[in-house]
């Protein structure tokens, strides 16, 4: 029997035969300029404190920050996201909005080092308050939503004064974008952008981050303000509200378990830039598997980040960013 008489002339495999051909028809691409690298900054001098649950990541003092900013800039990464660890914590997180706070110092240092680097700052209260929640706590243990907004807006303005390009409210409090936009505009920072954590789930994948930023709640959890992982339609509602309030960009967090949400948000709001946060737990899982020899870290990370891009993300926040940028350059 001649098998050729049954051959189907339609052969999708024709476009998979060489690396050059596969690259030519590739639908999703990944570049260093798509990446945002999170950095943790702390007080002191000459300190690099390794984060045990996130191999390769560390808390840095601001005197070590220039070397790190220059390193990632040379790799083609154009944006960093700053998280600060205060010297002391109190009930309202005073250092959060202090002119000489750790993040405010880090912004100035980063801008002095690489002026064109895009500086994004996390605007939240969890690492700065004794309670470790994303807002002020009332006597009944519930978040005081509107009272917290005033402090978050004050923090955003202090970051803008220090030179931040984008402020990123992450507390999932009602009205947070409106509060920040109004305060920034009133203070003359109408060109400081907002990247809202519009869709932030109450996820189990944040564990390593809470060690890194010393931001775990002292009691209770965050399920009354972060989203239920079972919900997708609610994500579209949250994004719509933040767009209405004036956000410039939106974010879905975490990324890996919520790629359907990333896709749904991009489909519903195609004109709004969308970031997805490849969070600490996702990073730690891949690191642990690679260290055990179970996966190729490079192949798995590139596959995951391409999946996030393919789902619809315009930007990816990832602790793997410097590694990815180096791999892409090869």
Positions annotated as catalytic residues are 200, 253
DSSP reduced 3-state for 11: coil
Give residue for tokens 């955003």.
Answer: 156
**Beta-carbon count within 10 A of 45 CB:** 8
Residue of 108, 225, 115, 201 lying closest to 159 (CA atoms): 108
Q: How far is CA 184 from CA 60, 157, 201, in A?
A: 28, 6, 26
Cα distance from N-terminal residue to C-terminal residue, the chain? 47
d(Cα 123, Cα 152) in Å, to the nearest integer?
6
Q: Residue 195 forms beta bridges with which residues?
A: 249
Q: By C-alpha distance, which of 180, 176, 182 is closest to 145?
A: 176
168: which 2 tokens? 């990123």
Is beta strand 166-169 parallel, antiparallel or unpaired with respect to 79-84? Answer: unpaired
Q: What are the CA-CA distances from residue 222 to residues 40, 73, 156, 216 (Å)?
A: 22, 35, 22, 10
Q: Which two tokens stand for residue 194?
A: 């907002």
Other CB atoms within a 10 A radius of the CB of residue 60 amount to: 21
Q: What are phi and psi of 50, to 5 degrees?
A: -65, 145
Structure tokens at 8: 């189907």
Distance CA 273, CA 250 (A): 7
């Amino acid at each position: 029997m001649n098998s050729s008489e049954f051959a189907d002339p339609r052969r999708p495999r024709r476009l998979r035969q060489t690396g050059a051909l596969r690259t030519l028809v590739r639908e999703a691409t990944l570049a260093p300029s798509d990446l945002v690298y999170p950095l943790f900054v702390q007080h002191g001098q000459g300190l690099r404190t390794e984060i045990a649950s996130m191999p390769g990541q560390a808390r840095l003092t601001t005197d070590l920050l220039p070397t790190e900013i220059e390193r990632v800039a040379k790799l083609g990464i154009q944006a960093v996201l700053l998280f600060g660890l205060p010297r002391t914590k109190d009930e309202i997180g005073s250092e959060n909005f202090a002119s000489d706070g750790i993040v405010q110092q880090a912004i100035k240092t980063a801008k002095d080092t690489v002026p064109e680097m895009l500086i994004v700052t996390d605007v939240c209260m969890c690492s700065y308050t004794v309670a470790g929640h994303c807002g002020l706590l009332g006597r009944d243990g519930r978040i005081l939503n509107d009272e917290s907004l005033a402090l978050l807006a004050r923090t955003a303005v202090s970051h803008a004064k220090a030179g931040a390009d984008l402020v990123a409210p992450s507390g999932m409090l009602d009205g947070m974008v409106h509060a920040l936009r109004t305060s920034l505009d009133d203070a003359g920072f109408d060109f400081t952008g907002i990247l809202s954590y519009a869709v932030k789930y109450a996820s189990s994948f944040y564990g390593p981050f809470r060690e890194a930023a010393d931001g775990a709640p002292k009691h209770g959890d965050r399920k009354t303000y972060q989203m239920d992982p079972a919900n997708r339609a609610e994500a579209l509602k949250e994004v719509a509200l933040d767009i209405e309030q004036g956000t410039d960009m939106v974010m879905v967090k975490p990324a890996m378990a919520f790629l359907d949400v990333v896709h749904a948000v991009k489909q519903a709001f195609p004109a709004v830039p969308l970031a997805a946060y490849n969070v600490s737990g996702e990073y730690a899982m891949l690191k642990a598997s690679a260290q055990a020899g179970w996966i190729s870290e490079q192949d798995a990370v590139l596959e995951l980040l391409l999946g996030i891009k393919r789902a619809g993300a315009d930007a990816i926040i990832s602790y793997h960013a410097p590694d990815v940028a180096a791999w892409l350059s090869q």
